[in-house]
């Protein structure tokens, strides 16, 4: 592997490396490395915040290394508290089973699954005995755990910290033992758990893994992107929805997203950054480039161009998309029920909220729907910023 490849894989979208010199030596030696990434199915949809590490895993895969993917169907039950300011509830097996159903399909939008190792960690964590867990727990102290910033804050605030949460790093660490990881990838919020893998591997006679941590990205509301907060851009989003959400990002996130969420060459990312700084490039144009790149990554270039054309027509020219759903509805039926039946809204609660926010409009008459009891009159309706429905 040449020096440029080594530099790129250890610098782009990288916040911290543990064992950098050793990784560099391994990469330059031509050794085949086992690069681990674990993802817990705590929600049905993966989002582009999760994809930052998936893209890094793909970088290694393209360089000829083995991508080792673990869907944490057991760790997901217990719950990782790394980024939480309160106790994460223990999920049911039924919820985990439903959430994980399409995970590998979603991951396959980025990773070549045909050449990757795919695992569920219940296969090695479920059979562990109390004796096994006691041996593993003896490697760490309670002080190590509560010294973590978010745990310390919770304890200082008098919030409950369950013993169950203490077990999570042990399980993630044992994952590294089970797959014999050479490198583990994870976000910066995972630092304690990632280091636990090194400790655990040493105990089991393995060479401690090296660690590469990726930055966290902000979601649509400025907080860390999280399914819990609903501020995500999901990998399964339609091209139009994905494009529109990218265009709603604050301008300050454009360059960061280009680096972390795309594989636009870093030389170009730097040029875009400089052009934005000098006002040679308008933020809207840079954001449109970003939106095209992301939609093309998860769909294709044709879908990205169509989404851009639709965005320009719909939002820049104040138009209405040409491919909106058309349905027949009884005028005696409430509009909110018609929107729910058509799948435009997810619940009556959402519909009432949108109406209270004056976010439901008949684009033909220009009238704002003002009451949840409004009838389903014929016309084209705009619901929120990006949803439309025509009632005929």
Show me where the domains of the chain are located.
3-214, 239-316, 326-391
162: pLDDT confidence band, cut at 50, 70 and 90? confident
Mean pLDDT of 177-204: 96
In the chain, how many H helices and how many E strands?
A: 19, 10
322 pLDDT above the threshold of 80: no
| Interval 94-123: pLDDT, tens | 999 998 989 999 999 999 999 999 999 999
CATH fold for domain 3-214: Rossmann fold (3.40.50)
Phi, then psi, of 82 in degrees rounded to 5: -55, -40
- Identical topology for domains 3-214 and 239-316: no
Distance CA 325, CA 342 (A): 8
Average pLDDT over residues 135-146: 89
> How far is 272 from 293, CA to CA, in rounded Å?
14
pLDDT at 250: 92
Task: Please tell me the predicted confidence (pLDDT) of residue 230.
Answer: 83
Average pLDDT over residues 325-351: 87
Element (H, E) at 62: helix 51-62
Looking at the chain, the whole-number percentage of residues with pLDDT higher than 70 is 96
pLDDT one-digit tens code per residue, 339-359 = 998 888 888 888 999 999 899
Q: What does the block give as tokens for 388?
A: 């439309």
**Closest to 70 measured CA to CA, from 156, 180, 165:** 180
Q: Which CATH superfamily is domain 239-316 in?
A: Tyrosyl-Transfer RNA Synthetase (1.10.240.10)
Contact between residue 185 and residue 39 where contact means Cβ atoms under 8 Å apart: no
- For the stretch 354-380, pLDDT in tens is 999 899 998 878 889 999 999 999 888
Query: What kind of architecture, by CATH, is found in domain 326-391?
Result: Roll (3.10)
Checking if the pLDDT of 85 tops 70, the result is no
pLDDT at 324: 79
Q: For residues 96 and 140, what is the distance between their CA atoms, to the nearest angstrom?
A: 28
Condensed to tens digits (0 to 9), the pLDDT of residues 199-258 reads 999 999 999 999 999 999 999 888 889 888 888 999 999 999 999 999 989 999 999 999
């Amino acid at each position: 592997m040449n020096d440029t490849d080594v530099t790129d894989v250890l610098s782009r979208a990288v916040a911290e490396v543990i064992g950098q010199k050793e990784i560099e030596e391994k990469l330059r030696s031509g050794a085949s490395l086992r690069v681990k990434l674990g993802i817990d199915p705590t929600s049905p949809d993966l989002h582009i915040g999760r994809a930052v590490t998936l893209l890094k895993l793909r970088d290694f895969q393209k360089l000829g290394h083995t991508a080792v993917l673990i869907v944490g169907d057991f760790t997901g039950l217990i719950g990782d508290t790394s980024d939480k300011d309160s106790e994460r509830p223990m999920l049911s097996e039924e919820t985990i089973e439903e959430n994980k159903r399409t995970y590998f399909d979603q991951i396959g939008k980025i990773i070549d699954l045909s050449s990757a190792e795919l695992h569920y960690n219940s296969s090695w964590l479920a059979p562990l005995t109390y004796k096994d867990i006691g041996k593993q727990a003896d490697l760490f102290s309670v002080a190590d755990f509560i010294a973590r910033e978010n745990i310390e804050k919770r304890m200082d605030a008098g919030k409950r910290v369950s013993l169950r949460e203490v077990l999570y790093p042990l399980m993630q660490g044992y994952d590294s033992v089970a797959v014999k990881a050479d490198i583990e990838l994870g976000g910066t919020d995972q630092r304690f758990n990632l280091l636990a893998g090194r400790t655990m591997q040493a105990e089991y006679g393995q060479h401690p893994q090296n660690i590469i941590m990726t930055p966290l990205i902000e979601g649509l509301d400025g907080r860390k992107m999280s399914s819990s907060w609903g501020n995500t851009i999901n990998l399964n989003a339609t091209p139009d929805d994905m494009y529109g959400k990218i265009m709603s990002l604050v301008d300050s996130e454009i360059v960061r997203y280009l680096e972390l969420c795309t594989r636009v060459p870093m030389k170009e990312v730097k040029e875009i950054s400089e052009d934005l700084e000098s006002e040679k490039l308008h933020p809207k144009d840079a954001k449109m480039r970003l939106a095209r790149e992301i939609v093309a990554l998860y769909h294709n270039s044709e879908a990205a161009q169509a989404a851009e054309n639709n965005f320009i027509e719909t939002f820049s020219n104040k138009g209405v998309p040409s491919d909106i759903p058309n349905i027949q509805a009884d005028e005696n039926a409430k509009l909110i029920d018609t929107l729910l039946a058509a799948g435009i809204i997810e619940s009556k609660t959402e519909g009432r909220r949108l109406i209270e926010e004056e976010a439901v409009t008949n684009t033909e008459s220009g009238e704002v729907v003002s009451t949840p009891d409004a009838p389903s009159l014929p016309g084209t309706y705009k619901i929120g910023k990006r949803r439309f429905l025509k009632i005929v």
